[in-house]
Structure 1
Amino acid sequence: MKNRKGSTLILTLMVFVFLSILATATVSFMVSENNQSIAHKDKIEAYYIARSGAEAVEAAILSITDEKEKENLLKNLPKNVDISGMDLKSNELLEVKVKQEDNIIVIESKGIVGKGSEIVEKVMESTTESEGDVISNIDSVIFSNTNMVFESNTQNNITGNIGTNSLKNDTIKFTSGFNKNITIKIPFGADSSKIINKPSTNKDIPNIEYIEKRNYPLYNFPQYPIDLLNKGIIKTNWDNSNPIINSSSYYDSIIVDQDYSLTIDANKSDVILRVKDFNVSQGHLKILGHKDVKIFIENFISLKGSFNNENNNKNVEIYYNGDKEMNIMNETKINGSIYLKSADFNLGNGGSINGNIISGGKKISISGGTYIQDGLIYAPNAKLTLTAGGKINGAIICNDFNMSGGGSITYSPQYIDSVSVKFPSTNKKTVFKNSYYK
């Protein structure tokens, strides 16, 4: 009986020891789990505190508008940011540093909560851009940097004033007559009796206005878009007589012929196209909607037929960065603006453009019953020749001008859209862009 009592006591003690060990292990595990949970919670809070610090500094940088303040910021990097004024809990935001790596600004922010700490890095891009200025002093129907020649009484077909930057004798020449209704703007220092050459039989005294020399530099030709989805080749034929483009894309070739059509649907969004070979040998490019349409052409082969002829959307632009002359002929009608980086331009045989011609080329020829309606021709490097019945409603800025053969020009400032014509400026500005987390 005693032996049984002894065995029961030993068993009870063993169970008690086991339960004590289990309880101790359980408590230890629970304490460890609780500590880990608290540490994890502290790290999460520290992470978001660090993010708050980085985003507060980013917002402060983006809010800087003064160029000197931006310049001073960049000159004094790396630097620690004074965080005492930030509306965050005490001691939770430990520090924020701002440093620069090439054109990248890195905002490094460290948060601490309890025993947990986290560091985040936010990256901002910093670029320097030239501010483009919009041409504002378009107050003449024709303004030439150098010579102006009016043959065969064409001066009578001008409505508006003319001007030049030249000081040389015989800069402005009227071969067969003189239009006394024209005011001629010449630079200070020019001799009006010598700079204007008119028939000696004409005794009319020119209306002269002296001006400061004007600077009409080349416009900022844009970079061609990249990273567009390549959609290969579009070619019209009997079973593809009216293909439709409704999204921005890159094409190796666009070929429209046999009087077929290609439709660009800009009802819902802007459409930007980059085309390697552009060949509309006989056909029509139709535009639907009133969103912006921009076509960037690398190799211009032809455009014959019509472009946006049935739509009043003037937010349509053709860009061409090649060297081959662009010819718009044979009653081709374009409703939109044309931008040429360096190519010459020829509009003839009844073609018409309702929009601007902006050119960095050396020559522009308008002839053969053509019509430019409500447009600005801005070509400060080009010799512009208007002949054989060419008609312009708008204004011309060129380097050298010659008019003959029944052409006409009417100054219509209310229709001239110069907003899109921007040229380089000596003013630079620093641009900070929204950041991202590393």
Structure 2
Amino acid sequence: MLKNERGAALPIVFILSMALIILGASLFTVSLAQASRTVLQEKREQAFYIAKSGADAIASYIIDNYRVTTLTDTAITNLNNHYLNQDISFGDGFFRAKVSRNPSDPNVIVIESKGIIDNVSNRTTLTLGPDGPVINMTHAILSNGEIKVTGGFKVWNRGDVAAVKGIEGIGSSNLDGGDLQPRYTGEFPPEIPIPSDLDPRTTLTSPITRSANYGDYEGGGFEIRVSDGKDIHINFDKFKINGIINIRGSGTGAVHIYTNTIKSEGSFTINNLDRKVVILYAQSSIDLKGSFDLNGVLLYAPNSTLTQGEGSVSITGAMITSNLELSGGTVVHYDETIANFINAIRKFERYKWSDE
């Protein structure tokens, strides 16, 4: 009887032994699979961060070197073909990227980036967009109040003339193909705030080559010279001038001239000699009793009343004002590029990430 019981125990021992062997093998296999999955996940995370770093570096390059209006289709093609259409080494891996426009909004840029490390890949997408509204302006004169004209007046090159509160003294014969819009209800370009961190200066030395706050100014003109890719911001409070401001230089930065009030009893001229982006901002009032010539400048004064008591006004570009009272001779040569200088100063900023 005892022998039979001992014999019966052998299969059980064998089965238990095999079960333990199989269990051990299974646990070993699971451990290997888990380790493999862990390594794969780590590689995917590394590939993701490589892709993200690549997209972020491309975004920084675009933000530093382009504006919304200068990142043309040709520039995008050159970026893709000459720089991005290749394996770009990054750490222990590499990335490839592509820049394109959003089909539904051409001002939005899409950066697609793929990171690869040890044949494991991951992707991410970063979109860039303008740092403010982009509004196309077709107006030679756009008034937030009313326009009153009692002297000679002419707008050339199909520029529109519009006023929210009405227009007096201008007929269709005064416009060279543009539209007269006396009860304008359309869009205005957005207001641009004055930088609050400009260095204060008590003496203006010509040529001006960098940003500064000069307080009150009364004088006969000066030169602004753009020597690099940085914008120049120049702020005045009371601005009284009888002379010429010349703007020149080989740099690509925009020139912003801010004033609270402008007063001129002789002549006031701004010459944009090298076709920079130049915007003259006036916050409160513009009082003119002599000649006023803006050559290649956008006058941006949506809250200012411009009063021309005598003399003449000649503008190559466009103006945005509140109330406009013109009693001398006025000629505006509308230039679409200059009218849209606010669009031209728009830079890109990061909008959002989309991870795959």
Q: Which has the larger Rg?
A: 1
Q: Identify which of structures 1 and 2 has the higher relative contact order when contacts are C-alpha pairs closer than 8 Å and 6+ apart.
A: 2
**Higher helix proportion, which one?**
2
Q: What TM-score do the two structures reach when normalised by structure 1?
A: 0.42
